[in-house]
Chain A
Amino acid sequence: MGTTEDSAAAPTPAATDWSEVQASPDFAELRRRLRGFVFPMAGLFLAWYLLYVLLADYAHGFMSTKLFGNITVGLLFGLLQFVSTFVITGLYVRFANRVVDPAADKIWHEIEGEQP
């Protein structure tokens, strides 16, 4: 059994100056882009969800309007919540794979590379 003890939560070796990495332009740029994506996106889906809940809660007539056959506005909006959840998931994964991972890996190698 080749156990590697976890390094997390163990005292950090003094070799890495975290504040220095935090202040580096590469890290600042990565953090800016990450926050620039996740915060607006979180705001967006929460607002859209809240709008949906408020409509379902207070606009019964509108939500019960039949669009075609027995499919109502409410049902369509509900299904659109599923669609938007899947779409945002896809967008985030694409963003993370293309933008976050390469930049994070670069900094990771700079940190872990110093202390083999």
Chain B
Amino acid sequence: MKVLAAGVEGSNPTLNISIFAVFVLITLVIVFRASRSTKTATDFYAAGHSFTGPQNGIAISGDYLSAASFLGIAGAIAIYGYDGFLYSIGFLVAWLVALLLVAELLRNTGRFTMADVLSFRMKQGPVRTAAAISTLAVSFFYLLAQMNGAGGLVALLLGVSGTAGQAVVVAVVGVIMIIYVLVGGMKGTTWVQIIKAVLLIVGAFVMTVWVLGKYGFNLSALLGDAVAHGGKTGEALLGPGKQYGATSTSQLDFLSLGIALVLGTAGLPHVLMRFYTVPTAKEARRSVVWAIVLIGIFYLFTLVLGYGAGALVGPETINGAPGKVNSAAPLLALALGGPILLGLISAVAFATILAVVAGLTITASASFAHDIYVNVIKKGDRSAAKAEVKVARWAAVVIGLVAIVGGIATNGQNVAFLVALAFAIAASANLPTILYTLFWKRFNTTGSLWSIYGGVIITVGLIVFSPVVSGAKTSIFPSAHFDWFPLSNPGLVSIPLSFLLGYLGTVLGKDRADEAKYAEMEVRAITGAHAAQAVHH
């Protein structure tokens, strides 16, 4: 296990921690205020369906823009140039799938979870269980990646070196996250995400204008300076291929990643759950429009920040700093505005982690309590529904504690593949099932189970037998060799196979689709009749 050296040179840890503490304090006050109107299950899971489209759109961007997409993409552009930019395009275009095919129909048919929609016209027990397992798997892998990232980030931003110190920080992040979810439920979590999104986007905007200002608002001049500071291969920064162009396998790997990114977003349970926080499908539509605009603008900022870091800090300094690519944006902040701007950006990066992990935790706990406890174990019993929120709160505590332990146990290891894995499962197990459920009349229980379980098993299986786990220098087990699947991103194989399994299960399965339930779902999905109503306090 590698112990990271002290933080970024010139950083003032006390200042960074103070700014971060102010953020935590303000959000905690808001979360406690939100707790006053959090009583029923609808309040806890869906904030009473009472947020407006624009509010939810800002919260979605706060939920979606993780530390990886801020620090990681800016850093990748600084080091690899154009290839770093490719990620952001996949992450953005993906929202059109959500806008055109999923958001409104989902809002009209479900109440709290993804499983509500997937099990609507199927056999409740088995399909709900499958959807909940997939929800928990995606959320947990994503959560673990974020918690692990928190450990590395503190080394970088707060100068906390040594595993014990980092473990303490991971635990603090986890405990704050549990408090947010436990006390504020979805309403509190949403406000945390809104505040974080505003801070992140404003912070990125200020830095972008600052960088562009240094080049007379001439993008070409900025790119030219990045090339000049890029050393011998500087020219390659302007075109694709620096990171993924090495071999035909890495090219295929990139294609696979690109497909998983664009199809995964609309299958991420924590993204889907956000559509329930608004009162109508029309507001869900407005949410996505706001999210697309904010996320798009943010990724344009990261393009400037990435090349700006390459030009003003230089790839050698970035690669030499603790945290490597992740340090590009903080180092750029330091170069532009000194320790104060660095402190602000560091605090924003932390706020980012907190908002994302809180969203994941509430999603996982809702799925456990609403899907597994109430509807599968208690079979929708009314008395169980009363205990639902209590179960969800306990689930949040347990999930939070497991995430803390996982984050500490994997500290220092590279678990970036977990994010790609989460996207691949979402694109393989969830998206085909959602699309078939909403649009294919014949789709039945057997088809649902085949596509969900098939998607999860194939995706995880391919990862286990990929170079991520064994056979390569960067593998978890570098000296073992069971890496017969060459790609680190399984989407290229797992997504088509899951669509195929959903089709085959439907055709070969003995059960028939419930036509009356399909009629009900289709009419409700499109017209919004009998949709869950907003709660007015």
Q: Are A111 and B527 in contact (CB under 8 A)?
A: yes
Q: Chain B: interface residue count, which band? A: 35 or more
User: Which chain B residues border A56 with CB–CB below 8 Å?
Assistant: 82-83, 86, 240
New A-B pairs, 8, CB < 8 Å, besides A7-B530, A8-B109: A6-B42, A18-B524, A34-B526, A42-B100, A56-B82, A82-B92, A85-B296, A111-B523
Is B9 an interface position by the 8 A CB rule?
A: no
Docked Cα-Cα span, A60 to B95, in Å, equals 27
Against A, the Cβ 8 Å flags (1 = close, 0 = not) of B513-534 are 0011001101110111111111
Q: Are A81 and B89 in contact (CB under 8 A)?
A: yes
Given A9-B116, A57-B240, answer yes or no on A45-B523 (Cβ-Cβ < 8 Å). no
Across the A-B interface, how many residue pairs have beta carbons closer than 8 Å?
A: 190
Q: Are A45 and B533 in contact (CB under 8 A)?
A: no
Residue in A9, A38, A50, A58 whose CB lies within 8 Å of B101: A38
Q: Chain A: interface residue count, which band? A: 35 or more
User: Which chain B residues border A1 with CB–CB below 8 Å?
Assistant: 37, 39, 537
Given A6-B42, A66-B238, answer yes or no on A53-B531 (Cβ-Cβ < 8 Å). no
User: Which chain B residues border A93 with CB–CB below 8 Å?
Assistant: 285, 289
User: Which chain B residues border A108 with CB–CB below 8 Å?
Assistant: 527-529
User: Which chain A residues border B224 with CB–CB below 8 Å?
Assistant: 69-70
Is B536 an interface position by the 8 A CB rule?
A: yes
B: which residues have CB within 8 A of A? 37, 39-40, 42, 82-83, 85-86, 89-90, 92-93, 95-97, 99-101, 104, 109-111, 116, 218-221, 223-224, 227, 236, 238-241, 244-245, 251, 254-255, 258-259, 262, 282, 285, 288-289, 292-293, 296, 299-300, 439, 515-516, 519-520, 522-524, 526-537
User: Which chain A residues border B288 with CB–CB below 8 Å?
Assistant: 89
From DSSP, what is the main secondary structure of chain A's interface residues?
helix
Given A56-B86, A60-B241, answer yes or no on A92-B99 (Cβ-Cβ < 8 Å). yes
Among residues of B, the one whose C-beta sits closest to the C-beta of A70 is B223
User: Which chain B residues border A69 with CB–CB below 8 Å?
Assistant: 218, 220-221, 223-224
Q: Are B89 and A107 in contact (CB under 8 A)?
A: no
Q: Are A12 and B100 in contact (CB under 8 A)?
A: no
Docked Cα-Cα span, A68 to B522, in Å, equals 51
